[in-house]
Structure 1
């Protein structure tokens, strides 16, 4: 029986992995994977890793020396993996799609909460304050939402927004052919959207897609939603735009410096991240800890597909979810 080292374990991970695992001896560790914790994989031929692990060259090299042959990512993104270091050494597998609706539903839920001040209402009424001052929002019907990235999650959000009778426009580096999606160029989307939602992967072409220049092109008072990757947004520029009133608000489930904070209880931390502290203190920002994916259906599918990826690898079958390493 192959031994698999499972890093970055949370209590909610174990249920479905135990359910689907029939062929492996899995050792669960709470430690995040990095060059210092990689030694835990000693004796294992495979590892299961998460999005906020650090799979840089040093970590990859240590895993390879330990005899690790496959890294099964229990996530879609792989920007945290040094693919060049893994080339011809370790196979990288991912879960490209597990529940697009979970993320799309969360994105619109975050915006509804911010726009209609639901989070503030909850806090106020618990203090027996039933005043409606400062609680005015706006209707979504008839507003224009710009979707950046029209993969499965983007498409799900488009369907949801059409249900709200919103006008939907979209931008994608690779527009889908024979689609009824109304594609526009990026400048048109920025200029005309009341709300912009990001649903694209983090690549060299999309890093800091939202920056000082693009924020200035946005419709004054527009809102931005990010449930994809933190580094799609240049945080300093976002904070300035929020302070200056260039944009109306932001719903952020991701943050570019999140790996040192997210998924952990840091409430007792004295020395805090200044940018993160600035964002969470703003009344027109909702920031959550990369949890848009967190539904029972998504966790079930992540475990099922991750185990199937390992079955394909050890069974010498076609690796349909292999992350291709170019060059």
Structure 2
């Protein structure tokens, strides 16, 4: 099977090549979109990531060029027109579970860094400033944490917060007994908003969850709430969050994802002028911490992503669609 790997970085090539026995992998640095879809001409499959675009136009171009399978090397699939793929007879597979602890631990890293202001303390010490003024934090022990989405990552995050002695409230349309076993409690969404000192998002992006954090939901939250998003950027209405930061309704904001990250993340833009004024406004707040979609970025996660992705491709090549971690 000939596979065009889009949005390929050096680490993608390293890990996928090690796991890709029996596959002919061609690594393409460009993202997949309407302008680059023709690069997949003559390939049997494409391997794509979170910010590649697979709308109906791209899918039709891929199909016309011979592509019959789309292998997502991520869990999310909101960037794929699944109905169009199904109509074209194109298989779509993903990586539903890749070291959920990687994202859960990054969530805790954002919480701890924001709370104890470790990033500020680091810079101060390098400058010889040992003052503690402005570095006051709070104990996590005894705080109420609201987790929206209790799949593998949400569950792993709940375990970590319980280890800190937090009260864990959860919301998910598909509850799991594992949450109640570890001492968590499922509540209605409004109740979670009202009670949470820390709110962490771990749900997929769907029409129902898009902008679930908005002006209306923010009014229900505690003043000074800490909001963490390591899931998908569009779960948050960024303009509403900026207003909540200005009014101090949000006391801390930690983001590993951003609604318009496709034009920014995974690239070195340090020598360019960032044109996204909304993102630049977020960066001006002293209580905002943003990382560039690196929650998944551990050795263990990359090994699992590569193994599952290449296995999906081999199964697709063998016509064993029933064994795939597939979507369409």
TM-score normalised to structure 2 length: 0.96
Give the whole-Å Cα distance in 1 for the aligned partners of 2:258 and 2:23: 34
SS in 2 for 1:239: helix
- The answer to whether 1:119 aligns with 2:119 is yes
Q: Which residue of 1 aligns with 2:277?
A: 274
Q: Tell me by how many angstroms 1:179 deviates.
A: 4.9
SS in 2 for 1:249: strand
Which aligned segments of 4 or more residues in structure 1 are displaced greater than 4 angstroms?
Answer: none
Structure 1: segments with no counterpart, 5+ residues: none
SS in 1 for 2:70: strand
Give the whole-Å Cα distance in 2 for the aligned partners of 1:306 and 1:245: 43
Q: Which residue of 2 aligns with 1:59?
A: 58
Give per-residue Cα distances to partners, 1:29-63, cap 9 Å, x unaligned: 10100111111111111111111001111110100
Give the whole-Å Cα distance in 2 for the aligned partners of 1:201 and 1:3: 30
Give the whole-Å Cα distance in 2 for the aligned partners of 1:278 and 1:97: 34
Q: Tell me by how many angstroms 1:86 deviates.
A: 1.0
SS in 2 for 1:251: strand
Q: Tell me by how many angstroms 1:178 deviates.
A: 7.2
- Aligned counterparts, 1:76-95, within 5 A: 76-89=75-88, 90-95=90-95
- The answer to whether 1:298 aligns with 2:290 is no
- The answer to whether 1:231 aligns with 2:239 is no
SS in 2 for 1:87: helix
- Aligned counterparts, 1:69-218, within 5 A: 69-89=68-88, 90-177=90-177, 179-180=179-180, 181-218=184-221
Give the whole-Å Cα distance in 1 for the aligned partners of 2:274 and 2:310: 39
Structure 2: segments with no counterpart, 5+ residues: none
Relative contact order higher in (CA < 8 Å, ≥ 6 apart): 2
Q: Tell me by how many angstroms 1:319 deviates.
A: 3.4
Q: Tell me by how many angstroms 1:265 deviates.
A: 1.2
Contact 2:205 2:234 in 1 (8 A): yes
- The answer to whether 1:27 aligns with 2:35 is no
Give the whole-Å Cα distance in 2 for the aligned partners of 1:220 and 1:3: 54
TM-score normalised to structure 1 length: 0.97
Q: Which residue of 1 aligns with 2:327?
A: 323
Q: Which residue of 2 aligns with 1:309?
A: 312
Q: Which residue of 2 aligns with 1:251?
A: 254
Contact 2:155 2:179 in 1 (8 A): no
CA, structure 1 residues 168+74, in 2 after alignment: closer, same or farther (shift >3 Å)? same
- The answer to whether 1:219 aligns with 2:218 is no
Contact 2:316 2:324 in 1 (8 A): no
Query: How many pairs align?
Result: 323
